[in-house]
Amino acid sequence: MAAAMIERALNPASAPLRNGVFIAVVGPSGAGKDTILDFAREALQGQPDFHFVRRVVTRPSTVDAEDHDSLSEEEFLTAQRAGAFCHCWEAHGLRYGLPVSVDQYVEQGVVAVANVSRGILPALRDSYANFIVVHITASHDVLAQRLASRGREDAEEIKRRLMRAVPNPCDPADAVMIDNSGAVSDAGNAFVAVLKKSAAFAAVSEQI
């Protein structure tokens, strides 16, 4: 099923940036997106066909959070006006940006991988000919347990995040679904397989 979804998503004739592939990782809070991204980053370490995007966020970088570049609100807006980002969005009261270098990687035939908000998916789909959404999720009980254990949200915020985790009409029907309720290696290996297949497609499409 996942392989068929990837084949349909890898479309070489619909957008200006087509040499590489953009992988958009989405999913509810607590699904373990950063954990799976870290698993894949380690598994593919040193392989130039893959670029794991380091996001810019208006939030201090801390030990228990995603490893990202931090800017103040004012610094972010200044960088945005200067053209430092190829895509930006707002979520949970924060601003997020993807460095403009992402487009350069895709133009060079690389598989670019980024954790994004589902609200930015239409803009990303319009920007990249070869575009795949990977939806990482987990059971309701697992999500609730992980949100509580990380200690970043109070009970009311956890409730709001769990409500946002239910299926949404905006969720793309062609997303590759990966369940991360169990062992990290199971979901991690499934994700790595998607990335490797995407890289193989990019290598072939560059020769056409």
The tens digit of pLDDT for each residue in 141-188 reads 777 776 666 656 555 665 565 555 555 555 677 899 999 998 999 999
What pTM does this model have? 0.81
What spatial distance separates the first Cα and last Cα of the chain, rounded to whole Å? 26
Range 33-39, long-range pairs (CB < 8 A, 24+ positions): 33/115, 33/136, 34/66, 34/115, 35/180, 35/184, 35/188, 36/136, 36/178, 36/180, 36/184, 36/187, 36/188, 36/191, 37/113, 37/115, 39/184, 39/185, 39/187, 39/188, 39/191, 39/192
User: Is 119 within any annotated ligand binding site?
Assistant: no
Report the C-alpha gap between 59 and 15 in whole angstroms. 32
* CATH fold of the domain at 2-53+106-205: Rossmann fold (3.40.50)
In this model, does residue 6 exceed pLDDT 80?
A: no
Domain boundaries, the chain: 2-53+106-205
The tens digit of pLDDT for each residue in 58-74 reads 987 654 455 678 899 99
pLDDT reported for residue 2: 53
User: Is 28 within any annotated ligand binding site?
Assistant: yes
User: Is 30 within any annotated ligand binding site?
Assistant: yes
User: Is 34 within any annotated ligand binding site?
Assistant: yes
- Residue-wise DSSP of 31-42: S-HHHHHHHHHH
User: Is 32 within any annotated ligand binding site?
Assistant: yes
In this model, does residue 99 exceed pLDDT 50?
A: yes
Percent of the chain, pLDDT > 70? 74
In this model, does residue 26 exceed pLDDT 70?
A: yes
